[in-house]
Structure 1
């Protein structure tokens, strides 16, 4: 057998340039680039070194023979002509892979069969011994590539694909192959950064693939050092002494690297279910003292070990399937960009994405972009230097802007009367600005009286709202019986719900009063009339209040208690946020730290977002509506919380009966009545609340608490519940000042185990 061999190194599409550079560095000669492969010449030592050290290749194929072929017979005889007894024993096992077509072979299975037949026939003994087929762990794996009438017959030295390092036995929903992760790290400059002692951080680490590959590069650890089975292990041409020498050298290099002070390598993952699998993978790779993984959301990501440490932030954000809709993805990328700008100044960043347009939403320019393929999906690697010159969201300032900022800072430090200070949506003080010009109209006597009431309410409630960090609240709720409506402020929008007048009221008078009120609202609240949304609210039954009224799909961002939420003021009768439940949401936020939180009939999961903000260990939100669960995803993403907070679509009663999970805090705000086509039977809160609460209490962990509320005015809590549980009505503690006039808006109870 020759001392020099032709080798083919296969790789994922897009990695060819990196692979040829790596392979040449490992000793490959006369290297040439092909689609998804690199070809060159090498001795056996180099072939072994490529198997052991290549971070990018899928397979190392040693070419046994090239021959022309016109048909299947040429294929058979070309393979038969090889002295197969030099490569395997007659009773060994065999696997054949075939790629390409032409020369009368259009079916790869048929081509593989002809190759197998030739090898078996060559090795068949007079007693009938012959190789068997083993597709999983064969003694010899043969590959034949048909390329424009030429057959290239190779022995697969790698066995299983080299990307399978052996440490990643557990993976997430959208895994990135190890060699692709290594290629991204190399393109991002991690070998240089690691050599300089830089840090590595992944804010969406999944099961830790980037972290492990990065640590192996930094520690000079051969990626396949711990692999036990190779394609050459039982090959008769194998040179064990040569392999042992190379493996020993790699082991010694790894020991030296691992004895160096470990670099600062950290991962953060929103999904608590992936934390332990990530740690298991890291431990199997032998890198537990180098890599640490914590549960954390993108919105709270802080990568810096100290102010002077710099390094690389790398991540593979979801780009379609894991978040489900474009709006959620947009918020996620915006949060990522915001955290990079705020917490990673001076770092480098690498964002690998299948949605490069979303990369532009981060507010930071990439100085380089590289094309890759993740399977069949074209992707981009965006390389970013995190400094103000690259910011595109206002941080890149002109001299005039910097002067304005200095003036602003001087103003911020000067004393001011509280009532003179105004605040932007982030809670930062700004200079008082002239009130916007609102078109004025002459009001009727009734309209002026209505405007006076609104202004009085706004003055009182506005101070309270500003103090509490709330920019969405009820400013009027049928205070004057003749003006029967509810008026809610949502940041700089007004949402008006007209209560239908009783039949005893003259329809013309009711209509006239409504027109008076609509004329007064913009003036009294200093809101442009284009930002006033009006709906008519009748007595509701079932889930009519949740039914679509329009299809504009326009969402507005509001905030309460440090949480940002999305409301839709046009498409449904309700907006996606029940304002009266604000105190309950705030209570949940304050009590959620470290708890497993369950939200039943979750609607848009606003209470779950508050729980996540309060540090809940996990949140699970259940609702029958896919529309509202998609909305919930947007609410989580808007706050930097990924959709790894569980969102479960299903009938609550059936879900509770099937669940075996435990929760430390449960919130239930059921509809009064529901008869959805997607659930069995009809839910009636008065009739079914005992069964509902019993099922929920069965899921409550020892020491846990259940909060139950509903807005059915005639609701009566079943007396016998207090015999089984500790029941405390807390309705009066769940009403904020903006609902003080309507204290019966809902009732609420705190329920715990006795």
Structure 2
């Protein structure tokens, strides 16, 4: 299921629809849950707190918090790291499917959406002793439909593929929680991507990687960035979005726009504020350039796609001004454009390695590429720091470089690391077999200093 474990410490509205304890939904304070890629939980908490979230608590794959309707919808529009945000509408003790149905039925669903709206339901079983997830999920659908049937003698239609409204629930051995989804399509879908390369990185994970790199000691004052494996440009675009204050939701629809508490005036206010901030960010970057981006890939088609994605995201002026530069290049031939900077990249693996033209098994192609790229960094990028995101947990052995830090993260179900690798001057001496060896080229951490934050 697409939702992680919502785990509030104390329910505010046990067995009752949230929002009916106050004069109006817009003034209510809701328990909320936001999902995110595993490893970004604390970053997500800090982000949502800057937008007014209260009583935040990180849980695996997300966080819980309290927020008003306006705060929660603004968070949905602006969050860079969340996948979904849901408002808790009901919660109560639950040990069987009938109790679960009654909890879901306690919500006055007509207060939230119209009979003409389509909807879908999802369920996450957190260890409850239920007959089947499918049957219990159908009981959630029945509760919503029965609520409308009693009022109108009609029921709204279900749409699995393109619903107007999404409802999700979680059921544990002792209780159940029912949420209405404010996002609709997962929030990593920013609206600018029409085409992608092989195995594209999700945008919210890419945003988290940039945030971590940018807030490191090496990254906070850096102004030159290079991605030699840029693919369709996800890392570049997500970094530009943060540098230029572009709202992730600027060019996409949201499920909250189909809910009754939403007004055109509130939507206009969100849009105008986002446009103002983005225009100011672009003007700053164009009039007083404070960063330079270089991106390349060996596949010419991917460079074309990356530039098209960049333009759709609204950064064409940066491309025209040369502040962002794309080129079709083999990563092993890319030279540093300045004496110091940041290599920020998600190097290829699997099918992406074979796309580089290696007519050998994937593992062998990967080892060859990484060994060669490690040698290239050693010989040419002294003074730089590399931030490389990879599912190769033993990258030190493959790349031949020692990471200073290793940040655990998950790319979907795949355990990965964001490796921070400082590159310093070294002396190369020929090995006995004629290969080059470093002596040493990277900062070697003292015992215990190589950390996983």
Out of 95, 98, 122, the position equivalent to 1:70 is: 95
Match of 1:230 in 2: 254
Residues 286-313 of structure 1: CA deviation (Å, up to 9, x unaligned): 1123333211001101241x44xx3321
Match of 1:280 in 2: 308
The CA distance in 1 between the partners of 2:437 and 2:211, in whole Å, is 29
Gapped regions of structure 2 (runs ≥ 5): 1-18, 23-27, 319-323, 354-360, 429-435, 442-453
Match of 1:322 in 2: 352
Matches within 5 A, 1:340-351: 340-351=377-388
The CA distance in 1 between the partners of 2:295 and 2:254, in whole Å, is 31
Contact 2:403 2:419 in 1 (8 A): yes
The CA distance in 1 between the partners of 2:378 and 2:257, in whole Å, is 51
Aligned-pair Cα RMSD in Å: 2.4
Matches within 5 A, 1:86-105: 86-100=111-125, 102-105=127-130
Deviation at 1:65, TM superposition (A): 1.2
Residues 516-560 of structure 1: CA deviation (Å, up to 9, x unaligned): xxxxxxxxxxxxxxxxxxxxxxxxxxxxxxxxxxxxxxxxxxxxx
Out of 165, 176, 194, the position equivalent to 1:169 is: 194
Out of 287, 307, 326, the position equivalent to 1:293 is: 326
The CA distance in 1 between the partners of 2:152 and 2:180, in whole Å, is 27
Contact 2:349 2:362 in 1 (8 A): no
Residue 264 in structure 1 maps to residue 288 in structure 2: no
Matches within 5 A, 1:502-651: none
Deviation at 1:153, TM superposition (A): 0.5
Match of 1:56 in 2: 81
Residues 363-399 of structure 1: CA deviation (Å, up to 9, x unaligned): 33211001111121111111012213799943438xx
Contact 2:30 2:87 in 1 (8 A): yes
Residues 250-288 of structure 1: CA deviation (Å, up to 9, x unaligned): 221110011123531121111123222222111111112
**Alignment TM-score, normalising by the size of structure 2:** 0.81
Contact 2:213 2:219 in 1 (8 A): no
Contact 1:67 1:152 in 2 (8 A): yes
**Alignment TM-score, normalising by the size of structure 1:** 0.50
In structure 2, the residue corresponding to 1:280 is in which secondary structure?
helix
Out of 204, 209, 234, the position equivalent to 1:184 is: 209
The CA distance in 1 between the partners of 2:101 and 2:68, in whole Å, is 28
Relative to structure 1, the CA distance from residue 193 to residue 149 in structure 2 (aligned partners, 3 Å threshold; closer, same or farther) is same
Matches within 5 A, 1:199-238: 199-227=224-252, 229-238=253-262
Residue 385 in structure 1 maps to residue 429 in structure 2: no
Residue 394 in structure 1 maps to residue 438 in structure 2: yes
In structure 2, the residue corresponding to 1:333 is in which secondary structure?
helix
Deviation at 1:162, TM superposition (A): 0.4
Residues 731-752 of structure 1: CA deviation (Å, up to 9, x unaligned): xxxxxxxxxxxxxxxxxxxxxx
Match of 2:358 in 1: none
Matches within 5 A, 1:491-510: none
Contact 2:105 2:144 in 1 (8 A): yes
The CA distance in 2 between the partners of 1:266 and 1:191, in whole Å, is 20
Deviation at 1:179, TM superposition (A): 0.8
The CA distance in 2 between the partners of 1:210 and 1:102, in whole Å, is 37
Relative to structure 1, the CA distance from residue 347 to residue 99 in structure 2 (aligned partners, 3 Å threshold; closer, same or farther) is same
The CA distance in 2 between the partners of 1:36 and 1:194, in whole Å, is 26
The CA distance in 1 between the partners of 2:304 and 2:134, in whole Å, is 41
Relative to structure 1, the CA distance from residue 42 to residue 157 in structure 2 (aligned partners, 3 Å threshold; closer, same or farther) is same
The CA distance in 2 between the partners of 1:224 and 1:257, in whole Å, is 16
Relative to structure 1, the CA distance from residue 194 to residue 382 in structure 2 (aligned partners, 3 Å threshold; closer, same or farther) is closer
Relative to structure 1, the CA distance from residue 139 to residue 230 in structure 2 (aligned partners, 3 Å threshold; closer, same or farther) is same
Q: Which has the higher contact order (CA 8 A, sep 6+)?
A: 2
The CA distance in 2 between the partners of 1:28 and 1:303, in whole Å, is 42
Contact 2:219 2:342 in 1 (8 A): no
The CA distance in 1 between the partners of 2:51 and 2:217, in whole Å, is 18
Number of aligned positions between the proteins = 393
Query: Which deviates more, 206-215 or 96-105?
Result: 96-105
Contact 2:125 2:133 in 1 (8 A): yes
Out of 163, 170, 180, the position equivalent to 1:145 is: 170
The CA distance in 2 between the partners of 1:279 and 1:44, in whole Å, is 37
Match of 1:253 in 2: 277
The CA distance in 2 between the partners of 1:295 and 1:11, in whole Å, is 33
Deviation at 1:127, TM superposition (A): 6.1
Residue 360 in structure 1 maps to residue 388 in structure 2: no
Matches within 5 A, 1:397-436: none
Out of 181, 184, 189, the position equivalent to 1:156 is: 181
